[in-house]
Structure formats: C-alpha cells, structure tokens
Structure 1
Amino acid sequence: MARRSAPPHSGPAYYSAPTRKIADPNESAFSEFMREQIWAPEKLPGNVNIVAGLAVFFGGIFAMRTWGELMVPA
C-alpha cells in the first residue's frame, strides 16, 4: 500500500504559524496571562472542566468531613 504524506517542503503538520498578538504596553503580566490563558474563548471549555472537577473534589471532602459519621453503621 502506498504511503500518503504531505507534499515535499510543506513543513511539519503540527506546526502553526505564530499568531499576531495585540500588545498593550500598559498591560501587566498578570492581566495578559488572564486574557490569553483563562478568558480566551478557545481555552474556556477546558478551564470550566477544571473548575468543575475541583468543585466536585473539594465538595466531596467537605461532605465527608461534615456528614461522614452518618455513613458508619451505628
């Protein structure tokens, strides 16, 4: 069977050209991080999944510490 590959000199398929970013010289590093990593539309679904997982994890710890004695037979 013939091998299917990209045309010669096309470069690696996993590399994307760098995107042009709009830089505000008065923006702090923290606000740039929040804008590019937390509130970016392409990263928001993953961030929501992380927050939901942490909420379930810590909610389970809170529930077991609060009502854990109710699970032990008397």
Structure 2
Amino acid sequence: MARRSAPPSGPSYVPHPSQRRAVGGIHDEDQSAFSRFIQNEIFAPEKISGNINLVTGLTMFVGGILAVRTWGDLMIPA
C-alpha cells in the first residue's frame, strides 16, 4: 500500500551559502553572525521542538548525575 504524506516544504538538500539568504528568510545586515545563529538555529519555529528535546535530555542527564552524587549512598544495600 502506498504511503500518503505531505509533499516536502522545501529542498531536501543544503542550499549553497549564496542561496541560504533567500531560503532562510530576511536578515538584517547589521546583525552579527552570533545573533543570526541564535535567530536561525535556536529560536526558529521549525527547530524549537528539537531544541526543547535536547534541553530536556540534557536536564535529565545532569539531574541524574546530581541525584546519584547526592543520594547515591542510599542506593547501596546496607
């Protein structure tokens, strides 16, 4: 049975750097490279769910390490 899905919304390849400006949207020429990175990679609506997943995983990892370091002696049978 054929799978039905929505057509791709954009190119499935990484565009050439000269074409990224047209694909990525309008940028202010006075922005620094760091602020463009933050805007395009961190706060972009299409990438926010993946970024939330990364932050959640990192928080769980660090929280697990802190919990074991704090209450690890309670996990060993006496």
Q: Could you say if the C-alpha distance between residues 63 and 38 of structure 1 is closer, same or farther in structure 2, counting changes exceeding 3 Å?
A: same
Give the structure with the higher percent helix: 2
TM-score by length of 1: 0.73
What residue number does 2:77 align with?
73
RMSD, aligned α-carbons: 2.0
Q: Unaligned 5+ residue runs, structure 2?
A: 1-10
1:59 and 2:63 are equivalent in the alignment: yes
Q: Which runs of 4+ in 1 moved over 4 A?
A: 15-18
User: Computing the radius of gyration over CA atoms, which structure comes out larger, 1 or 2?
Assistant: 1
State the distance in 2 between where 1:20 and 1:64 align. 43
TM-score by length of 2: 0.70
Matching residue's letter, 2:26: I
Identity of aligned residues (%): 52
State the distance in 1 between where 2:32 and 2:14 align. 27
| Higher normalized contact order (CA 8 Å, seq sep 6+, divided by chain length) | 2
